[in-house]
């Protein structure tokens, strides 16, 4: 037995951490610690033994094994790690992981990844000091919020039960952890509104998700939308409903269907840096919405609706990690007790995303995702900021606000690939086994691209990509075909042995822009074409802008044209040149 005071215990554990956080979880005994277990019970003093990354024993007194690290934790609080059910990973995954862990978030969601990137990202997180990450498959109605950027490889479109079935079957191959539905088109009082999802489509999504035991959470920001979401039977509404005061209709439906509520107060908080740019009318709208948010949270809480913790971090400059802690404080400011807020941020959130059998409370058999805190956060919520140490799966990952060990690099190491990017002989996939994508102008109405491999001619057996482009009537419309160089375009490619890019093309477009995306920037080269089939070669020396051919992620081909113009293209043999 290695017996030590709190600080020495943490320091001795730190020696087992590898540079990338690959620690072997040592047995750890917390002596005489005050346990806030997240179940709703009153805190109690006990010994807690962690063994093989899980809670092994909770008792008044536990005899330590000879190889256990003993942490004398009298006057400290041990509680479950926080869980944020609504985040968008819009920055480096290493950076976000660090921010989350150093604020006590040990399980987090990702609403900002295309399904074809899940596998690569899941693998990459094994090399980081990371919280547990669960991936949400995005679904929206045509014309709905969430479908106004990227393409349908990012956000699948559903307008009926039949489409819901087809979309969930498509998503099966990527194994999402849960479903996010962009249900409401209301844009917070702004004139432009998007399409709301129909009840038929909503119910179809929930039915298909239940077959697969997948939770369904929803972007719902209106009271009428909340009624529709509850009728559909979603797991949770993960935004504040803030267009009006709710009434008994919503309350009764949410109680009947056991719908959770995670109001993401942090993203809506009128912080000084946000409101200083608002005119008086917009500021009044913001304050009115906040008033509705507070009223509706109180109404639902008083009716016994279970709560969760979500922030929308990564959107509207809502910071990672800090926002999750701030969300707890805002819940309390809006009338929730500190203890109830902590339960929402642990047990409630675990139940929303379907991991309550393995984490979210301090109970025997569950993961040792733990926080050691100086103070009593169940009485004074700001004490949650007195975070002394964090464990994930029983491994120490944070001490005094800093990672224990060296975080991994911002991006995965680049790999080398063959010259052929896409010869269109693999059906829906490129020659690199990635999914072809499109990149079109943001916001509705949007330009459109239709593409499908076809035989080059009735007398030839090789395939080309048949493409139709319709540029929308808007300022600076654009439409790109995107060829990710690895699945999801997450792992970069080292193309330093190549000299450029080439492709064969036929069509009525006369100007093209080739775009190289890399982790270090984007570069473009514009060129002209002639009638009939031709092979276009673009040397790397022609590309302008900051980019790095040792960290390429995608090659795109953009049709240059004007609003309301339409083009047809046949494309073949996209490749690097040597």
Residue-level pLDDT at 23? 53
Rounded to the nearest 5°, which phi and psi values hold at 330?
A: -70, -40
State pLDDT tens for residues 64-120: 887 899 999 999 999 999 999 999 999 999 999 999 999 999 999 999 999 999 999
Q: Can the peptide bond before residue 276 be classed as cis, meaning omega within 30 degrees of 0?
A: no
State pLDDT tens for residues 124-146: 999 999 999 999 999 999 999 99
Q: Taking the chain, what is the end-to-end CA distance rounded to the nearest angstrom?
A: 62
Residue-level pLDDT at 8? 41
Query: In the 8-state DSSP scheme, what is residue 529?
Result: -
CA separation for the pair 15, 115 (Å, rounded) = 37
- pLDDT of 275 above 50: yes
Length of the chain (residues): 578
Query: In the 8-state DSSP scheme, what is residue 37?
Result: -
Binned at pLDDT 50, 70 and 90, residue 256 comes out as very high
State pLDDT tens for residues 343-383: 999 999 999 999 999 999 999 999 999 999 999 999 999 99
Instruction: Please state the rounded mean pLDDT for residues 183-188.
Output: 94
Residue-level pLDDT at 460? 83
Express the helix, strand and coil content of the chain in percent, nearest 5 each.
25, 30, 45
CA separation for the pair 19, 11 (Å, rounded) = 15
Residue-level pLDDT at 128? 98
Q: What percent of the chain has pLDDT over 70?
A: 96
State pLDDT tens for residues 297-335: 999 999 999 999 999 999 999 999 999 999 999 999 999
Residue-level pLDDT at 4? 46
- pLDDT of 11 above 90: no
CA separation for the pair 453, 465 (Å, rounded) = 4
Residues sharing a CB contact under 8 Å with residue 238, sequence separation 6 or more, in sequence order: 85, 86, 180, 217, 218, 219, 220, 262, 264, 308, 310, 352
CA separation for the pair 252, 192 (Å, rounded) = 31
Mean pLDDT, the chain, whole residue set: 94
| DSSP, residue by residue, 134-179 | EEEEEEE-TTBTTSSSS-TTTEEE--SHHHHHHHHHHHGGG--SEE
Is residue 442 exposed (0-12), middle (13-18) or buried (19+ Cβ within 10 Å)? exposed
Residue-level pLDDT at 20? 38
Residue-level pLDDT at 9? 43
The CA distances from residue 27 to 35, 396, 541, in Å, are 18, 11, 57
- pLDDT of 6 above 70: no
Instruction: Please state the rounded mean pLDDT for residues 463-487.
Output: 97
Q: What percent of the chain has pLDDT over 90?
A: 89
Residue-level pLDDT at 498? 98
CA separation for the pair 102, 509 (Å, rounded) = 52
109, 136 in Cβ contact below 8 A? yes
- pLDDT of 15 above 50: no
CA separation for the pair 334, 282 (Å, rounded) = 22
Instruction: Please state the rounded mean pLDDT for residues 462-481.
Output: 96
- pLDDT of 421 above 80: yes
Instruction: Please state the rounded mean pLDDT for residues 248-274.
Output: 96
Instruction: Please state the rounded mean pLDDT for residues 563-571.
Output: 96
Three-state DSSP class for residue 528: strand
């Amino acid at each position: 037995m290695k017996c030590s005071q709190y600080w020495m215990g943490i320091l001795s554990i730190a020696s087992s951490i590898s540079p990338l956080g690959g620690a072997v979880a040592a047995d750890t005994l917390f002596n005489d610690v005050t346990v806030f277990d997240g179940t709703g019970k009153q805190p109690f003093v006990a010994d807690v033994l962690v063994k093989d990354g899980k809670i092994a024993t909770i008792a008044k007194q536990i005899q330590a094994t000879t190889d256990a690290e003993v942490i004398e934790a009298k006057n400290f609080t041990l509680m479950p790690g926080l869980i944020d059910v609504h985040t968008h990973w819009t920055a480096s995954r290493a950076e976000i992981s660090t921010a989350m862990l150093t604020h006590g978030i040990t399980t987090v969601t990702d609403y900002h990844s295309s399904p074809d990137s899940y596998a690569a990202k899941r693998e990459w997180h094994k090399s980081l000091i990371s919280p547990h990450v669960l991936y949400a498959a995005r679904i929206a109605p045509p014309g709905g919020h969430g479908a106004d950027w990227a393409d349908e490889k990012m956000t699948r479109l559903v307008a009926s039960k039949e489409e819901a079935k087809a979309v969930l079957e498509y998503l099966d191959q990527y194994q999402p952890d849960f479903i996010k539905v962009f249900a409401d088109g209301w844009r917070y009082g702004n004139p432009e509104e998007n399409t709301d999802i129909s009840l038929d489509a909503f119910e179809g999504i929930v039915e298909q998700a239940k077959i697969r035991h997948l939770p369904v959470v929803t972007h719902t920001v209106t009271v009428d939308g909340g009624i529709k979401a509850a009728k559909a039977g979603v797991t949770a509404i993960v935004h504040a409903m803030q267009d009006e005061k709710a009434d008994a209709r919503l309350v009764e439906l949410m109680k009947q269907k056991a719908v959770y509520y995670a109001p993401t107060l942090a993203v809506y908080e009128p912080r000084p840096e946000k409101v200083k740019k608002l005119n008086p009318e917009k500021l009044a709208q913001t304050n009115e919405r906040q008033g509705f948010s507070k009223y509706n949270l109180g109404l639902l809480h008083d009716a016994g609706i279970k709560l969760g913790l979500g922030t929308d971090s990564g959107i509207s400059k809502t910071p990672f990690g800090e926002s999750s802690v701030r969300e707890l404080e805002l819940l309390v400011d809006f009338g929730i007790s500190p203890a109830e807020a902590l339960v929402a941020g642990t047990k409630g959130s675990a139940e929303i995303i379907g991991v309550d059998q393995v984490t979210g409370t301090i109970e025997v058999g569950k993961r040792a995702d733990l926080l050691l805190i100086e103070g009593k956060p169940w009485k004074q919520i700001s004490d949650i900021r007195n975070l002394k140490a964090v464990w994930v799966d029983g491994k120490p990952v944070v001490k005094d606000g800093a990672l224990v060990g060296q975080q991994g690099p911002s991006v995965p190491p680049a790999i080398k690939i063959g010259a052929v990017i896409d010869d269109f002989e693999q059906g829906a996939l490129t020659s690199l086994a990635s999914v072809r994508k499109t990149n079109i102008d943001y916001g509705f109405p949007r330009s459109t691209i239709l593409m499908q491999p076809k035989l080059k001619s009735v007398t030839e057996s090789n395939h080309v990509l048949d493409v139709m482009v319709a540029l929308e009537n808007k300022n600076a419309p654009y439409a790109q075909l995107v060829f990710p160089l690895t699945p999801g375009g997450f792992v970069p490619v080292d193309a330093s042995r190549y000299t450029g890019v080439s492709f064969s093309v036929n069509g009525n477009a006369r100007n093209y822009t080739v775009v190289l995306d890399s982790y270090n920037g984007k570069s473009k080269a514009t060129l002209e074409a002639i009638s009939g089939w031709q092979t276009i070669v673009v040397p790397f020396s022609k590309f302008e802008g900051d980019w790095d051919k040792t960290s390429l992620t995608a090659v795109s081909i953009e049709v240059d044209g004007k609003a309301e113009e339409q083009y047809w293209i046949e494309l073949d043999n996209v490749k690097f040149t040597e």
